[in-house]
Chains A and B, each alone.
Chain A
C-alpha cells in the first residue's frame, strides 16, 4: 500500500514537473531563437519539416502557420539593443534601412502574440508603407501613444517585434546573423 502511494506521488509530481517545463519553456516562452543578429533572433528551422520538437512546439504556440525559410525568414525580438526587455511604458527609436528582401515588415505584437489595439490602427511599418528620410533610411517611433508617419503605438502594453523578410535575398539564409537589421534604442521611460 505504501509502495503504491509512493508510485502515485512520483507520477503526480513527475507529471506536474513535466507539464510545468512545457509551460515555462514553450507555452509561456517566445518565438524560437537560435541565431542572433543584434537584438533580433531567428531560427531557420521555422516552418521546416526538419524542425526539432522544441522548435515546432514553440512555433505552434507563438508563430503558427509560419512559412519556411525559402519563402520567408522571421526575426523576433523581446529586447532593445542594450539587451533590456522591451517595456510598453517606454519610448524607443527604431532605425534602419531597407532590408534585403522583396518585401519586409516590422510588426508590434502584445505579450499574447496578437496585435495591440490603438486608435490609429497602426500595427506595422513595411517596405511599402514606411516613410524614408533623405538618405533613404527610416526612423520609427515605438511609444505608448506614438503618432506621426512611422508611428508604432504600444498603448503602454508589454510588446515584442516581428520582422518579416518575404522572398529574402540569398545572403539572409546563408548568413542570418549578419543581416543589417534595424537598431532599437530606448529614448525615454516615465
Chain B
C-alpha cells in the first residue's frame, strides 16, 4: 500500500473516530438522564428521598446538607400539576430538568413570593392551557420526559423534623389527559 493510501485510510479512521465521539457525547446526557429518571420510581408521582449519606448512590454528587424530593414526569400521559408548601426559614427550591439534563426552570423560597408552589408543566408543543389554572405558574417542558427536583436545606438540625414534614407535603400528578390539550 502506498503512503498516499495509508494517509487516506488514517484520515478515514480519524473521521469515524470524530463522528463516534460526537455522537456518544450527544447521546450520553440523554442516556444518563433516562437511567436517573427510571431509577426514581413511578412517573408523575412524588418521591421523597432519605437523608443523604455515603450510601446515597442514585445521582452523583448529592449534597448531605439538602433533602431531595423528586417528581419524574412523562407528559405523554397528560399535563403535570405540582403542588408544594414552602418550608419556613430555610433555603428551598423547585427546579425542572428536561430529558437532555437542561435546568429549564427554577424557583426558590424567596422569589416565589410567600405562596405555596402551584405549578403546571405542559408538554412540548402544547398551546392550549387548561382554563382552570388561574394563579398557577405555567411552564413548557422542552421534552416529554423530565424531572421536577425539590431541594430543602437542613440549616438547623433542631428544625429537621419540622422541615422534613413540610417538604413531604409536596405532591405531583397528571392533571388531565393529553388528548384534551392542543
Which A residues contact B (CB, under 8 angstroms)?
A: 6, 10-11, 13-15, 17-19, 21-22, 26-27, 47-49, 51, 53-54, 56-57, 59-68, 70-71, 102-103, 105, 107, 109, 113-118, 121, 123-124, 126, 128-129, 162, 164, 166-167
Asked whether A18 and B17 contact (CB < 8 A) given A103-B153, A115-B54, the answer is yes
Bin the interface of chain B by size: 35 or more
Cβ of B42 under 8 Å from chain A: no
Complex contact A113–B60 (CB within 8 A): yes
Q: What are 12 sample pairs from A and B whose C-beta atoms fall under 8 A apart? A: A14-B17, A22-B28, A59-B101, A64-B60, A67-B95, A71-B106, A103-B155, A107-B63, A114-B60, A115-B62, A118-B54, A128-B155
CB of A138, distance to nearest CB on chain B (Å): 16
Q: A10-B13, A61-B28, A71-B106 are in contact. Are A123 and B20 (CB under 8 A)?
A: no
State whether B54 touches A123 (Cβ < 8 A).
yes
Q: Is B137 an interface residue (CB 8 A)?
A: no
- The reply to whether B54 and A10 contact each other, CB–CB distance below 8 Å, is no
Asked if B106 contacts A26 (CB within 8 A), the reply is: no
| B17 cross-chain contacts in A, Cβ below 8 A | 13-15, 17-18, 21
Q: Is the CB of A63 within 8 A of B60?
A: yes
| B binding-site residues for A, Cβ under 8 Å | 9, 12-26, 28-29, 32-33, 36, 52-57, 59-65, 91, 93, 95, 97, 100-104, 106, 108, 110, 142, 147, 149, 153, 155-156
In the bound complex, do residue A113 and residue B12 qualify as a contact, i.e. CB atoms below 8 Å apart?
A: no
- Contact call A60/B61, Cβ cutoff below 8 A: no
User: Whole-angstrom distance from the CB of B102 to the nearest CB of chain A?
Assistant: 4
Is the pair B24, A19 in contact by a Cβ cutoff of 8 Å?
A: yes
Q: How many A-B contacts at CB < 8 Å in the complex?
A: 159
Q: With A and B bound together, what is the CA distance between A117 and B57 in angstroms?
A: 12
Of the candidates A64, A68, A116, the one having the most CB atoms from chain B within 10 angstroms of its own CB is: A64
A21 CB → nearest B CB, Å: 5
Q: Is the interface of A mostly helix, strand, loop or mixed?
A: mixed
Instruction: Identify the interface centre among B16, B26, B55, B97: most chain A CB within 10 Å of its CB.
Output: B16
Please report the C-alpha to C-alpha distance between residue A68 and residue B13 in the assembled complex, in whole angstroms: 38
